[in-house]
Structure 1
């Protein structure tokens, strides 16, 4: 009987395990996770999951894993891979055999230099345990300092304000959301936060962050200091590639995989935040995506190819973020765009369409209350996948239905 091991019990690993059964795989499946919980959703940790601070939002109940004959080994860390013997050694000394192996090891928050790992008042947000620790400090009137103006930092700021905490956010770059979000939308989000009472400091270099008595302190390079009850660092993520690198697998901004998610070893696949892969809609450009939907899509694709389907990447990158009552959605990658067209919609919502030098739609970025931009971003995603070259004037006009452009 075949054995498939999945290292990494997050979104990607769990989705892959169930997808293997849906593909008809009848062998043994074991899902190995370092945390004590069953696989759970991570996006809620900076949103409602943080505010509620109860149990995590589990991807599936224990009974579903049992019914699908998926063995879940929690609280276990894979220490090494022996590719010749096709075994994985765990931290407790156990050795597990595999016929095929999927690495879904994810990514970890980038640490701020010089901060001790055991600092109680300086935290990073990645796990449910992190969310519990941060939530405990966010009492009404508490002061939270956030280092980093990306999605996680801004979502955390919105949740903290809803809980009644004071928030100051420090970003070293000239604006928030510098990575992958157009300046026009970033400015909208920044103003939204300021209206809600968040103090945003951009272009500030940080000399140090440190615990101070019952709180913590941010020391800026210009000599200014920011006192807080807690500091949360959100300055990006680092792919967990150490296990793969030690096994001799190719590494390139993550575990390098081909269009089928196969690593440099034909019996080992990698998927999700930990891997870099070629994007067919962007000339095969190699990218690494830290996104919920990408983890789902690649979990399903890895499962298909672990059982020999030979399928290739076809999805367009898609991201979303909740900011108070507004939702930001992005389809595609805007890098390389030469023309940007704005479409204004009802309720203050708008979408930016990004076209390359040949007029091909390569990305769409939108923001609006609730699901105001969801339908058009989905249609834009389909236009991107089709390689469409829509008329910019038609894109700009709210009277033009994108479904009509797609049909054309």
Structure 2
């Protein structure tokens, strides 16, 4: 087996292949070498509270002990045999001139940061946050008194702005959407979360830069609509990713805004699977669904791919889940906050929105289809069980802080 990509999806596929009894050789191909975790890059690693070694999923010797070869190189081409050729081999060409062959391949190629589509949006001095090297470069510029402009108020932008502010950096957070994250957590909670930036002393602009220039190491971000320019020593662009599909597409695998996969992560070629941010699910009617870019979804995908490659049944899927951290609070979400037709919120002791539940009408009342919470792990665990079990939900009890969350399951 060859796994191209060392993120969580690729690593999980390797881990599961061994754990499920596969005894053949496995190769991991990634320019960064030994796989490591990405979410801490915009949080603990950026803030300096953990080091590069603590990012690793496992100790480096884990791979050698389990017969897994790690190639610190890029895959430049993949040749797949004819779909009907039972004896054909998958071949992967490496950037160092090497060539690997295998019976099957997993594309875990991830995504690349989306470029800012304005004049100056392609400046080499603009930073992104996708890899350990990106985080190290960004952290080097986050010295007390430095001016940081963060373009994009989503999860990564918010996390990086929060971490930089704690380091004594003067931060401006820029996003035309006010508030960001509504599809992920609902408007009520999104409003509370976004307001935390200004409350912490971060300048927040509900705008989009029209042009970026740099002179003598200082960036100037220009805006329309009467908004004055923003000067920054460091500019971080975090406006989403574009899935890395070129390798798979060139190999003849079907792509449509992501490598298309079924629920077992199979692609259009019988020797190829795909996991993680590079993928897009094919729905039951054949149309492409929405891509998932969260940590747990990559882990589930790696597990499903390994099981399918070995002819085994993967664990039952549960509602999707994500988390984030900013300004000392922990945010979690589960399910789909864009589905359903009703939102119910629950306030904390200070009157702030602590949790939001998205409900869908059912014959016998309502069902929870999504939930999000601030420092509300119990709420999310309960909501996840309700989603997975299809438990009937009483909107009044969901909103009542006097009703313990666990009682909602009864």
Give me the TM-score of the superposition, normalised by structure 1.
0.91
Instruction: Provide the secondary structure at the position in 1 that maps to 2:12.
Output: helix
**Paired position in structure 1 for 2:213:** 210
**Equivalent position of 1:338 in the other structure:** 341
Distance 1:313 1:257 in 2: 17
**Contact 1:259-1:312 within 8 A present in 2 as well:** no
**Equivalent position of 1:361 in the other structure:** 368
Which residue of the partner structure matches residue 393 of structure 1? 396
Secondary structure of the residue aligned to 2:62 is: helix
* Aligned positions of 1:157-196 closer than 5 A: 157-196=161-200
Q: State the match for 1:58 in structure 2.
A: 56
SS at match of 1:286: coil
1:80 aligned onto 2:84: no
Measure, in 1, the Cα distance between the counterparts of 2:287 and 2:343: 23
Residues 6 and 29 in structure 2, CA contact (< 8 A), matched pair in contact too: yes
In the TM superposition, residue 211 of structure 1 has moved relative to its aligned partner by: 2.0
**CA distance in 1: counterparts of 2:51 and 2:332, whole angstroms:** 27
2:146 equivalent among 127, 142, 147: 142
Q: CA 1:191 to 1:380, structure 2 compared with 1: closer, same or farther past 3 Å? A: same
Q: What is the CA–CA distance in structure 2 between the aligned matches of 1:215 and 1:128, rounded to whole Å?
A: 24
Aligned to 1:356, the other structure's residue is in SS state strand
Is the aligned partner of 1:236 residue 2:240? yes
| Secondary structure of 2:392 counterpart | coil
User: Alignment partner for residue 387 of structure 2, among 353, 371, 384?
Assistant: 384
Alignment pair present for 1:6 and 2:3: yes
Query: What residue number does 1:48 align with?
Result: 44
For residues 10-43 of structure 1, the C-alpha deviation after alignment (integer angstroms, 9 at most, x for no partner) is 11111211111110110011111122x4111111
In 2, Cα distance between equivalents of 1:118 and 1:351: 40
Please state if 1:38 is matched with 2:34. yes
Please state how far the C-alpha of 1:117 moved relative to its aligned partner.
5.8
Figure out how many residues of one structure are paired with residues of the other and give that number.
Answer: 395
SS in 2 for 1:14: helix
1:128 maps to which residue? Answer: 132
- Report the CA distance between 1:399 and its aligned residue: 3.4
Q: Which runs of 5+ in 1 are unaligned?
A: none
**RMSD, matched Cα:** 2.2
Query: Bigger shift: 158-167 or 190-199?
Result: 190-199
Any unmatched runs of 5+ in structure 2?
83-88
The within-5 A match list for 1:259-274 is 259-274=263-278
Distance 1:382 1:83, change over 3 A: farther
Identify which of 281, 288, 292 aligns with 1:289.
292
Structure 1 position 249 matched with structure 2 position 253: yes
Contact (CA 8 Å) 2:339, 2:370: kept in 1 or not? no
Secondary structure at the residue paired with 2:180? coil
Shift of 1:395: 1.5
Structure-1 residue corresponding to 2:69 = 71
Offset of residue 174 of structure 1: 3.2
Structure 1 residue 278: deviation in Å?
A: 5.3
Once the 2 structures are TM-superposed, how far is the Cα of residue 221 of structure 1 from its aligned partner?
2.5
1:96 is matched with 100
Match of 2:159 among 147, 155, 162: 155
State whether residues 18 and 68 of structure 1, in contact with CA within 8 Å, keep that contact through their aligned partners in structure 2: no
The alignment partner of 1:160 has SS state of helix
Match of 2:23 in 1: 26
- Offset, 1:185: 1.2
- The secondary structure found in structure 1 opposite 2:127 is strand
Deviation at 1:217, TM superposition (A): 1.5
What CA distance in whole angstroms lies between the structure 2 residues aligned with 1:88 and 1:233?
32
1:315: Cα distance to partner?
Answer: 2.4
| Residues 116, 122 of structure 2: 8 Å contact kept | no
- Provide TM-score, normalisation by structure 2: 0.91
**How far does residue 225 in structure 1 lie from its aligned partner after superposition?**
1.1
Query: In structure 1, what is the Cα distance between the partners aligned to 2:182 and 2:216?
Result: 34
Question: How far is 1:271 from its partner?
Answer: 0.9
CA shift, 1:189, in A, is 1.4
CA contact (8 A) 2:303 2:314 kept: no
- Return the offset for 1:173: 2.1
Corresponding residue for 1:300? 303
